[in-house]
Structure 1
Amino acid sequence: MKSVIRRVLAVLLCFLAVLGLSSCVEENPERQIGDPITEVEAETLAGLLHRNFTSGGAAVRAVAPFAENTTFTYTGTVDFTTSTGTGTAVTDYRGQQPAESRSLYFTTDELTFGDVPGLTDAMAGVGVPGVNFMRRQLFPGQDLIDTIIALLPRLAAPEPDAAAAYLERDYTFQGQTTIDGQLAALFSFGSAQVAVGVNEKLLLQYVTTLPNSAVQVTLTLSDHGPQTVEAPPPDQTVSATDYPEVAVALGV
């Protein structure tokens, strides 16, 4: 999955040709929607995920309509340097039933849930008082929330990619837009689309269809820079593996 994201996101940097990368502008001064990327743009694209990484992190909002009248939204932060993040996940049923909200903390391996109704009482009932969080293994590809959360750390890389790989794919320029008031250029590869900001040359938005599904997720990044991500208190956290009956009953 990470290699696919890298290939798709790489196209983002193509916007630099349109938005101020002088060598690209000289090479192709009038870009048209649907134009393939150039060699110079491929070089620039290859460094996108690395620039995200060196920025430190970002605020992120993920939105995914996944059933009739149902939308999943995650709002939080991600620290690219530690591949951790925290935020709030809300499943909105558009009035068909009450919305569900959970606080989340994630690493590349685990997902920790807070604000789970009934968790503290259920754990007290099995002799473990004062529990407010439950963690479990991350299962990308099996559960929607896990699949979306697993995407977030993969939007950055500690090293640049090789530019040659991007020239082998059918990346195209798709015009310009604004994301949260910031001018950006759009690029596409297959069913995925990315937007890169003009000023900071960082990823502003990534839209893709999740593997083996028809669910489209839109990831929007803002406030790029160092992020503070704090793990839940260990003395208030239990593992779902140790209390499987409670985890199943509460939908963790």
Structure 2
Amino acid sequence: MRARRQLVPRAGAAGLAALLLAGCTGAERQPGEPITEDDAAVLAELLHRNHEEGGADFVVTVPFSDDAVLTLTGEIDFRRAVGQAQAVTVVDGEDRDTRTLFFDRDALWSGDSPGLPEALTADGAPAASYLRRPLPTDSRAVELIDVVVQVLQNLSAEAPDDPGAFLDGPYRWHGEQAIDGQPTTVYRLRDGRTVAVADSDETLVQFRTPLPDGSAELTVTLADHGTRRLALPAEDETAAAEDHPEIAEAYGV
């Protein structure tokens, strides 16, 4: 499945204003109320807090057709934009594809797929278990998995934002919700997006956004924020997808 544009802008003042909104719980607040200055202060630190914490576990779910769901379960180092995940595609309630993915700012690795090492060996890639391809720089036409990677990597910022950037626009308090047993405050953003922020430590717990065509919603849930040290597949485990185009196409890389 292809997405027509990048879902989440790069971190920065303008990007953050379009991306996230979160805040503290207010007594007797009603859904649809504008955010407060206290909300904006929390917001300004939200993505920076992810960077400062270092990383998190994540679960991403995307129902990309009436009967198919892509789920990624893994962890990300927000400081280096490096992640790893188990990706499972379920169709009609049955697992149809399971693979291990790694990514950094430049590339995506896909492996642990039945028959892939044998196919690569037969095609002249000794002992390779993963195919690697560049992540696209053109956000107008990217694979769904590339959109997921962009969303994850853009949930971090090296510096806090200006709180004032969040006091204008359609941002609204949306309600209270327990996510995996954790109390959160939920805010409505632009274009049908929402965020949930932990009441306990003001970390980002969940980000939800419609896909560009409006057909489904992508949900990222974060947990166990903290430092991560993730290693990418070694060179001797990896083959370049561009060197094995037929295999890459067959395995959906």
Give the TM-score normalised by the residue count of structure 2.
Answer: 0.88
Q: Which amino acid aligns with 1:131?
A: A
CA distance in 1 between partners of 2:75 and 2:106 (Å): 17
* Change over 3 Å in CA distance of 1:245–1:88 after alignment to 2: same
Partner of 2:149: 149
Number of residues of Structure 1 aligned to a counterpart in Structure 2 = 239
Q: Which amino acid aligns with 1:77?
A: E
Computing the radius of gyration from Cα coordinates, the structure with the larger value is 1
Partner of 1:109: 106
Q: Contact 1:208–1:218 (CA<8 Å) still a contact in 2? A: yes
CA distance in 2 between partners of 1:150 and 1:109 (Å): 11
Secondary structure of 1:47 counterpart: helix
Q: Contact 1:192–1:209 (CA<8 Å) still a contact in 2? A: yes
Secondary structure of 2:247 counterpart: helix
Q: Contact 1:79–1:227 (CA<8 Å) still a contact in 2? A: yes
Partner of 2:123: 126
Q: Contact 1:75–1:88 (CA<8 Å) still a contact in 2? A: yes
CA distance in 2 between partners of 1:9 and 1:127 (Å): 45
**More displaced, 203-212 or 73-82?**
203-212
Q: Contact 2:42–2:202 (CA<8 Å) still a contact in 1? A: no
Q: 1:11 aligns with which of 21, 25, 28?
A: 21
CA distance in 2 between partners of 1:5 and 1:100 (Å): 34
Partner of 1:52: 50
Partner of 1:74: 72
Residue 2 of structure 1: CA displacement?
1.9
**More displaced, 207-216 or 42-51?**
207-216
Q: Contact 1:115–1:132 (CA<8 Å) still a contact in 2? A: yes
* Change over 3 Å in CA distance of 1:48–1:9 after alignment to 2: farther
Q: Contact 1:52–1:155 (CA<8 Å) still a contact in 2? A: yes
User: Mapping of 1:25-40 within 5 angstroms?
Assistant: 30-40=28-38
Partner of 2:185: 185
Residue 99 of structure 1: CA displacement?
1.7
Alignment pair present for 1:99 and 2:96: yes
Residue 5 of structure 1: CA displacement?
6.1
Secondary structure of 2:243 counterpart: coil
Residue 6 of structure 1: CA displacement?
2.1
Alignment pair present for 1:159 and 2:159: yes
Give the TM-score normalised by the residue count of structure 1.
Answer: 0.88
Q: Contact 2:88–2:95 (CA<8 Å) still a contact in 1? A: no
Partner of 1:2: 9
Q: Contact 2:100–2:112 (CA<8 Å) still a contact in 1? A: yes
Q: Contact 2:25–2:185 (CA<8 Å) still a contact in 1? A: no
Deviations 1:226-252 (CA, angstroms, capped at 9, x unpaired):
112111121010111222222123221
Gapped runs of 5+ residues in structure 2?
A: 1-7
Deviations 1:124-164 (CA, angstroms, capped at 9, x unpaired):
11222211011111235421111112110111101011122
Secondary structure of 2:117 counterpart: helix
User: Mapping of 1:162-241 within 5 angstroms?
Assistant: 162-190=162-190, 191-241=192-242
* Change over 3 Å in CA distance of 1:44–1:128 after alignment to 2: closer
Secondary structure of 1:113 counterpart: strand
Q: Contact 2:133–2:241 (CA<8 Å) still a contact in 1? A: yes
CA distance in 2 between partners of 1:63 and 1:10 (Å): 19
Q: Which amino acid aligns with 1:154?
A: N
Residue 174 of structure 1: CA displacement?
1.0
CA distance in 1 between partners of 2:184 and 2:91 (Å): 32
* Change over 3 Å in CA distance of 1:5–1:183 after alignment to 2: farther
CA distance in 1 between partners of 2:78 and 2:156 (Å): 6
- Give the RMSD, CA atoms, in angstroms: 1.8
CA distance in 1 between partners of 2:106 and 2:211 (Å): 19
